[in-house]
Every structure is written in C-alpha cells, then in structure tokens.
Amino acid sequence: MSSSMEPRASVLSPSGGSKEDGDVDHELSANWAELLKTLHVLRLPKTTTTEFELFPQRDGALEGNSGLIVYGRPRDVVPLMLQSGVLCPMQAMLVLSRQWLSCTPDQADAPSTLRASAGVLFDSNGNSYFRRFSPSRLVSLVVNLTDDNQLRSVIRDVPRLRPQGASEAIDTPLATCQLLSRCEHVRQPKTVVVVADGEPLPPRVAARLEAVVYRAGEPGGLRAALFDRLQLRPDCEMWLRLDGQDPIGCEAKDVCNVVQSRFRPSTRTAVAVERVCAFRPENAPAQEESEWTRGQTFTVRCSVVLWRDRPTTVAMLAVVHRTDQSLYSHADAPLPVSLDCTLKRWGCDVLQRRELCERTRAEAERVFAVVRREHCDLMLLGVELVLAGEMRAVEFVVSSLDSRGFIADMAARTTLESLAVPVPEQVEPSADRLLGFEPLVSACLHRAHCGLLRGRHVLVIGGCVFRHKAVWTRVRNEFGLKVTLIDACVKSPWVDDLWDHIQFDLTDHSRDEEHARRIVAMVQQRRLNVGCCISRMEDCLPLAARIGELLHLPGNSYVAMHRAVAKTETMELVLSNPKMDPLPAVRRFGSRSIRIRAVEDIDVAVKQIEFPAVLKLEHGSGAVGVKQVHTIKECYNYFRKITSDLRSDADLPGVGLGYGNMMSLMDWLGGSEHDVDVVMLNGQLVAAFCQDNGPTPLPFCTQTAAACPSFLHPDEQSQLIACAFQSCRAIGLRSGVFNVELKLTPAGPKLIEINARVGGFLGRRWIRECYDCDLLLASFLTAFGLRPCIPRLPRPLRYCVGINLVSSRHGAALRDPDVKRRLEGLDSDEFYYEQICPIIEDVPYEEVDALLAASDQRSHTAAIDKLLQLVHDLDLFRSDEHPCAYYLSSFK
C-alpha cells in the first residue's frame, strides 16, 4: 500500500494528535485503507482530513446530528453512506474504529449513552470528510453489520439496526429452521436437525422439521426421521451442513453414512435439508434448457426493510448455482444479478417476469411480517427464496434468513453498476422496480431521530380533544417522549397514553400571562425536567410560547405566536415589512384586512375593501364561520349572527373564541388555493411541501378536497414556498413546523393566514406518504432545537387525493352502519379514513368531521379513480348538492 493511503495517527485519533502512529489499532488502519480503496474503485475522491469543527454545538443543541452511525466493512457500507449523503448530506457518521465510540450511563438506573468523537461524513456529491466532533455527538442508532463482540461491549443497550442476538436467533441454519417452523404458512424444505449427545434437543414444532440425537454407531433414529416421519425417498437429494464444515450434497440414503463419517467431537449440530425442485418456465421441458440454464439453478435474495411502518422489498438479487452446490454455499457463486435479468435468461417473457417479481416481492414481505412477530424490533431482514416448480404453479420455499439483509450483495451490485458505461434507454424496461438503499437509509434516519427524542420531557398546552387521540399514542410509543398535558378536561380515555396530566382551565386567553406564571409555578413545584413547551391547539400557541420564555426553553417568542393567531395583525406586519434580501419583498404577498369589533367598524372597513370580501373570526381556526360576502347589508347580518351565536369558548371549543369573538374583513382573493407546510430552524428553511386544495362550497370556505404532490409547475411551487417562508419570518417565527394557507392569483401568490403549528386534516399523513417526511416528528425535533434530517427524494413516492367530509352534507351516509363498517375496514395501503369529530345531526357552523383519501404509486389520476369509485360504491355524497367529481375537478 502506498504511503499516501496510510493514515496519520494524529489525524485519525479521536484525541487529535496525542497518539503516535504505532498506537492506532490495526482495525482502524485496515478499515481506513479499505475505505480509500473502495472510493478509488468507485471513482470518488479520497476522504478529506482537513480539521475544523463541523456543525458546532449552539445553545445546547446538536444541530447537525442525526444520531445515526454506521459500523461495518467499508466495501459493504460505502454505497449505503453515499445514499445517506444524497438524502441527508453530512449527517450520518461512518465509524471505522471502536476508538471513536464511548458509552457511559447517564444516571444509575438510566440506559447507556453512546457518543461518537469522530466519524467520516458524506455530502451529496460523493465527497467524504473525516471529522472530529467537539463536543462528541450523541448516537441514537447503530447500523451494525458485523458480529464484533467487542463492539457489543461498547454499544451495550443502545438501539441498533440488527437486534441484539440477531445472529444467533436468525442467521444460522438451525436457528432459521426453528424460527420458520414456528411460523404458519411459510414453506421450508423438509429438514432434519441432528444434535450431539448431551446437547438440548430442539422441540418438534412443525411437520417438516425433525430433530434427533446423534449417537455414534446408532443411526436408527436418523433413518426413522428421514424415511418414516418425513417420508423422503431414498434417492431424494439432500444438502448436509455440519458445524464448521463446508456443505455437501448427497442422497437421502447416504445421509446417515456421511453424518457418521464427518461428525467430530467438536460438532454440536448438523442440518440436512431436502433439495427443492428447480424452477422452469411454463411449457419448458428439461431437455430444452439453454446453455445458460443447463445444470444450473438459482436462489433469490430479497432485502426487506421496515419502511413507513410497512415491509418494503428494496432488492431482489438472484444467485445462480450449479445443481450440485449447496443452497447455503455461495462463496464460489457468480456475483448476484437482478431477478429480472435471471428470469430473462431462463426464458420468461416480460409479463411473466413482472408477475414473478411481484409475487416474489409479496412473499418476501410476508415472511418478514411473520418473522417480525417474534422479533418486534426487527428493521431489516434478508429472505432467501427458492422458486420451485413451473411458472403457473410456482412455489416459494424459504431456504435461509439473514439479519444483515444481504447488504454486502446490494453493495457489490451497486459497485458494479457504478463501473458501467451509461447506455441509452432500454428497449425493454425492467420488470422489478426496486429502490436500493434509499428506504433503508430513510428508515434508519427516522428511527435515529426518534432515539434522539426518547426519554425527553415535553410540556403540551391544550390538546385533550378527540382528533388528537392517535397523536399522543404515537408520541409515547414511537417517539418515546414523556408528555405532560395541561388542559381543562377532567378525564379522557387517551389521557392514559400520556406521562402526566394536569387539569387547568386555559379557555380565557385574556389571562394568558396569569395562567403562564401559575403553570410555571406548578412545573417547578413538581420538579419536572421539561425540555420544551408546545401546543397543537391554535388558540393555545401564545400561552405555550410565554411559558417557554419563563422557563428559558427553546422555541418561538410570545410576540411572534400572538401575531400568528391574530389574522389582521399578521397581514399588517406582512404589508409593512421591508424587503428581505435576497428573496422578494414580503409586502407583495399581503392583502388588506380590517379588524371588526362592532357593527360600526364595518362602515369604516368597506371604504378600504371592495366586495366581494371575506368575513371571518379574527382568531378562528378550521375555517369555522368563514364566509364570502357581497354587500354591506350581508356583512351586518352575518356579523350579528356570529357574535350572537359564538360568544365564548364554551359555545364552540377549540376555534379561538378564548380571545373573544371579534372578526375581520379581508380582500377576496381569486385563483387556486394551496397549503405550504414549512419546516424552519433558527430562521432557516429546512424543508417545504406544497399541496393543492379543491373548490370551497361558496359562500362558505370549508376545505373540501386536497391533492399531494402539487399539480403546479415547479416555478409556481417555488413562488408559494418563498411566500410562505418570507411571511413566517416577517411575523417573527424562527423554529418549528408551520402550515401556511395561500392563494395563487394571476398577480402571484397571496397570503391567507399562517397556522403556527403542524397542519391538520390529511396533510401531515400524506406528506409522509409522498415525501417520507414525518412532520409530527420534525415539530418535536425543532421544538428541542434539533435539526430534522429530511430526505431529499428525487421523486414522489406516492400520489394522494382526499376529500373532507362534514356532518351537514355527509352525515347521513357516515351514520349508516354498513358504510361505517366498510370505511373502517379499508385497505390501509390504498385508502385512509379517519373520523376527527363525532358525527352529529345539527351543526350550526361547518367543521371537517372525517377524512377519506386514496393513494397510488402510479399517478394522481389512478388515485382519483380509486377515490371516485369508492365514493360511488358507498354513496357518500347522497346529500351533497355537488358530486364528488366537482370537488376534485381542479386537480389537473
């Protein structure tokens, strides 16, 4: 190895120069050399070792830390790190030595805390950088692709990609046999497990699995298991594997003799597996085999990842063997190629290949789901399948499992692909649509982020409402947060999902300062170690911000949050805000708005605002009471009605009446309506997502339908994002997830209002479906001052279209028991239904009561067709003056 590839100890040592060259351990030197060789083969520049502090700790927050480290052989993990650089540049850490890790318990009975003092980071262009971290970075997930016992002693109980003990519980032939034999509807070959005398005998738990004790000179038990109980033919071909020995092939009648001759004193187990009949295309007799397939068979290695709460097959690689090789012996096999390529060699046409790829994918995901029932923390699994029989009657037989998910095979194929010369578009498209390392990296980042939050304490102001039930369950189970909820409710079924609940009446927001000081006193009296204070209720946002200020917690200021809930004040600030270089002046995004406290104020307002106009609650939410008005008389009448019906929060809880029932008169904005969800940290835009809204049922403005991703041109989406981001900055918002409602008019984007919280209705769910971004998780990360690592996907993952259902127009259908049963039983992969509020008959002011959406991987059109067919079958719009197609008509 050349001297240029030899690492300097002073550079790679975590202490930064306190050790001599000879003190750097062999593991670090070998891994560093292999890293440089791998980068050289991939035609990437060498790792830069320029030293400077990257992403310094600021205000106690590890701003640039995703909490994810990767530990394994560089040749196997570099492709994974390159993908991490594309999705989240300079976030995941490649660790080449145990020297770079240290694990200490925080407290006596607390779980261990793992920290990384150095690592190799990758950017989006494939460049890599060695960095030392000061202070060391907190690690919340370890992607461990080795069985290093010393590494286990370092990482202890820190969460890892491969569960503790996965190798012993999944990878060995005996473990695979025992695990799969406990799983229903998973076919595996007929198997006999032979154990040495004195070893524990595995229980016989399945008809295809037998276990016998080997005693020298006594082959009767083995013969009985083979021929009597499993009823194998004497000439049946078997594969025999003994501990520490190469697998061999033999006929069933010779198994006893081979075991007797090869069983050593050190041998603990032997596994004899029936050879499964090889796959043949339809109507293809054995004598017509081509030179590619004659004397050959293949197995399929499927890598399955738990991604977005569902098993997802990310690779299907076929390994071709000679028929006299063991299914378990791949050392001398050719490099894996795609299943589609192998099936083509075996004579399958495009349709047959597509069908077999889909069936193989489904079988691998089914096996993953079955195995995960026993290993609930499993995130990655390799499933090796044998395709047995002919095309029409093909069966899938599980030959082995791999807790590493065949990452090495995926890395090898990725390396080979990087060497290929680009070719024109294929004449014949591939039948297997696979995502490679992208879902694995994304799933690891999501779990690492949850690990950064686990055990932290959050104070939540308000939110004991029906529609938040699922939120608190997820926050407790998935994020591991300790939630103390302060709310006026006495007791609700989902309060049990919280860590603590303090009853406190928050409804009168004119007393927010008094309430904030009393709540702070209660928090201090209970000695709660709170890390942030947030609210999911629009009217409680300023109170939560004020409590955070008094407790000196990270977050937005009280002034900024109060501006956000007051619609007229928001518009005044936007219109009066100076230009913010280099983005466009924010004032161009505003429109006129006049606050209405009494009927007399309407006379003043109409002199500045032309009809048609919009009359709405000044501090309202959910479009409750928002109405288009055309005359001054209509303004008078509607203002009197609203102020008479809605006087306090008790009249309609949760819509902002705790601030009073004053209203505002605003310009009516033409054009199409859109929502932009903005993720910000310390005044910087982290991510933004656009969605389109359907036409409203004028003269009211209740949201009716939405589609994501947006149909708009990228330039138009950029304008909307600039408008949303600039508007949030103009009123003083700096960190958090905000939902901004906009209109795209012929004159450009115009602001409707800013909701300084995570968007409701369908937006949060399908932004995760389309872009793999969890806005709920991002909101908690930014609340603690941590930067969300949001993947930069090159394309949408799915296309979603949904409708909002309200009691006044859809209540009759939603109360139908048959309709309700069918909605609750919908396929979760294609449809989504959620009831937000109880369905009641008489509703004076419309609120969205339920959501129904459809999604598809192909296009918006396919999702719309699914939704229209479902709505037609259930007759949901039987009482609506417009058909469902009307509300979806703008999605073109």
Q: What is the pLDDT of residues 597-652, one digit of tens each?
A: 999 999 999 989 999 999 998 888 878 888 999 999 999 999 999 888 888 777 77
Q: Mean pLDDT over residues 510-520, rounded?
A: 93
The token pair that represents 58 in the structure block: 């600021």
- DSSP-based helix, strand, coil % in the chain, nearest 5: 35, 25, 40
- The residue that leads in pLDDT, 717 or 55, is 717
Task: Supply the pLDDT for residue 691.
Answer: 93
Q: Categorise residue 123: left if φ over 0, alpha if ψ from -120 to 50, beta otherwise.
A: beta
Residue 859 has pLDDT above 80, yes or no: yes
Tell me whether strands 799-805 and 850-856 are parallel, antiparallel or unpaired.
Answer: antiparallel
Of 803, 701, 772, nearest in space to 743 by CA: 701
**What pairs with residue 101 in β-bridges?**
116
Alpha helices in 655-751, H assignment, sequence order: 714-730
Please state the φ and ψ torsions of residue 740, each to the nearest 5 degrees.
-115, 125
- The residue that leads in pLDDT, 104 or 363, is 363
- Rounded percentage of the chain residues whose pLDDT exceeds 90: 29
Of 161, 122, 119, nearest in space to 143 by CA: 161
Instruction: Please give the span between the terminal C-alpha atoms of the chain, in angstroms, as a whole number.
Output: 60
Q: For 61-70, 483-492, 642-651, 862-871, which range has the lowest pLDDT when averaged over its residues?
A: 61-70
Q: Return all residues near 341 (Cβ < 8 A) that are at least 6 apart.
A: 318
Task: Supply the pLDDT for residue 51.
Answer: 53
Alpha helices in 373-454, H assignment, sequence order: 407-419, 438-453
| pLDDT tens digits for range 535-561 | 988 889 999 999 999 999 999 999 999
Residue 277 has pLDDT above 70, yes or no: no
Q: Identify which of 382-391, 491-500, 621-630 has the greatest average pLDDT.
A: 621-630
Q: Return all residues near 95 (Cβ < 8 A) that are at least 6 apart.
A: 69, 70, 71, 101, 116, 118, 119, 120
| Average pLDDT of the chain to the nearest whole number | 81
| pLDDT tens digits for range 283-303 | 554 445 555 566 677 888 999
Look at residue 801 and give its three-state secondary structure. Answer: strand
DSSP 295-325: TEEEEEEEEEEEETTEEEEEEEEEEEEETTS
Helix (H) or strand (E) holding 679: strand 672-681
Q: Mean pLDDT over residues 486-509, rounded?
A: 76
Residue 218 has pLDDT above 90, yes or no: no
The token pair that represents 493 in the structure block: 């079924």
**What pairs with residue 681 in β-bridges?**
684
The token pair that represents 31 in the structure block: 């891994």
Q: Are 49 and 11 in contact (CB under 8 A)?
A: yes
Q: Return all residues near 481 (Cβ < 8 A) that are at least 6 apart.
A: 453, 454, 456, 457, 458, 475, 499, 780
- Model confidence at 217, in pLDDT bands (50, 70, 90)? low
Task: Supply the pLDDT for residue 755.
Answer: 92
Residues 739 and 737: their CA atoms lie apart, in Å, by 7
Dihedral of CA 469/474/477/482: which sign?
A: negative
- Model confidence at 427, in pLDDT bands (50, 70, 90)? very low
What CA–CA distances, in Å, run from 804 to 335, 617, 811?
51, 21, 12
What CA–CA distances, in Å, run from 677 to 692, 717, 743?
12, 12, 14
* C-alpha 340 chain-centroid distance: 28
Q: Mean pLDDT over residues 31-50, rounded?
A: 89
Tell me whether strands 736-745 and 672-681 are parallel, antiparallel or unpaired.
Answer: antiparallel
Task: Supply the pLDDT for residue 514.
Answer: 94
Task: Supply the pLDDT for residue 645.
Answer: 85
Task: Supply the pLDDT for residue 580.
Answer: 62
Task: Supply the pLDDT for residue 255.
Answer: 79
- Residue 471 has a CB neighbour count (10 Å cut-off) of 19
* C-alpha 455 chain-centroid distance: 20
Of 375, 339, 437, 565, nearest in space to 80 by CA: 437
Q: Mean pLDDT over residues 90-94, rounded?
A: 90
Rg for the chain, CA atoms, rounded: 31
| pLDDT tens digits for range 301-329 | 999 999 888 899 999 998 877 655 544 44
- Model confidence at 60, in pLDDT bands (50, 70, 90)? very low
Sequence-ordered strand ranges (E) for 442-592: 457-461, 482-487, 500-503, 532-534
Task: Supply the pLDDT for residue 157.
Answer: 77
- Model confidence at 496, in pLDDT bands (50, 70, 90)? low
- Model confidence at 5, in pLDDT bands (50, 70, 90)? very low
Of 787, 763, 611, nearest in space to 62 by CA: 787
What is the greatest pairwise CA distance in the chain?
108
| pLDDT tens digits for range 16-40 | 444 444 444 688 889 999 999 999 9
Q: Mean pLDDT over residues 173-199, rounded?
A: 72
Residue 694 has pLDDT above 60, yes or no: yes
Residues 195 and 205: their CA atoms lie apart, in Å, by 16
Task: Supply the pLDDT for residue 779.
Answer: 94
- Model confidence at 93, in pLDDT bands (50, 70, 90)? very high
- Model confidence at 4, in pLDDT bands (50, 70, 90)? very low
Task: Supply the pLDDT for residue 421.
Answer: 56
Q: Return all residues near 820 (Cβ < 8 A) that are at least 6 apart.
A: 814
| 8-state DSSP, 171 | I
Look at residue 347 and give its three-state secondary structure. Answer: coil
pTM of the model: 0.85
Task: Supply the pLDDT for residue 34.
Answer: 93
Dihedral of CA 472/477/479/483: which sign?
A: positive
- The residue that leads in pLDDT, 656 or 375, is 375
Q: For 2-11, 28-37, 801-810, which range has the lowest pLDDT when averaged over its residues?
A: 2-11
Residue 784 has pLDDT above 90, yes or no: yes
- The residue that leads in pLDDT, 459 or 295, is 459
Q: Categorise residue 785: left if φ over 0, alpha if ψ from -120 to 50, beta otherwise.
A: left
Of 540, 576, 542, nearest in space to 593 by CA: 576
- Model confidence at 154, in pLDDT bands (50, 70, 90)? confident
Residue 522 has pLDDT above 90, yes or no: yes
Counted residue by residue, the chain has a size of 892
Residue 378 has pLDDT above 80, yes or no: yes
| pLDDT tens digits for range 241-269 | 776 666 676 777 777 877 777 777 666 67
Residue 803 has pLDDT above 60, yes or no: yes
Q: Mean pLDDT over residues 777-803, rounded?
A: 87
DSSP 819-862: HHHHHHTS-TTTEEEEE-S---S--SS----EEEEEEESS-HHH
The token pair that represents 114 in the structure block: 């793992």
Sequence-ordered strand ranges (E) for 567-655: 593-596, 613-617, 627-629
Dihedral of CA 647/650/651/655: which sign?
A: positive
Task: Supply the pLDDT for residue 390.
Answer: 73
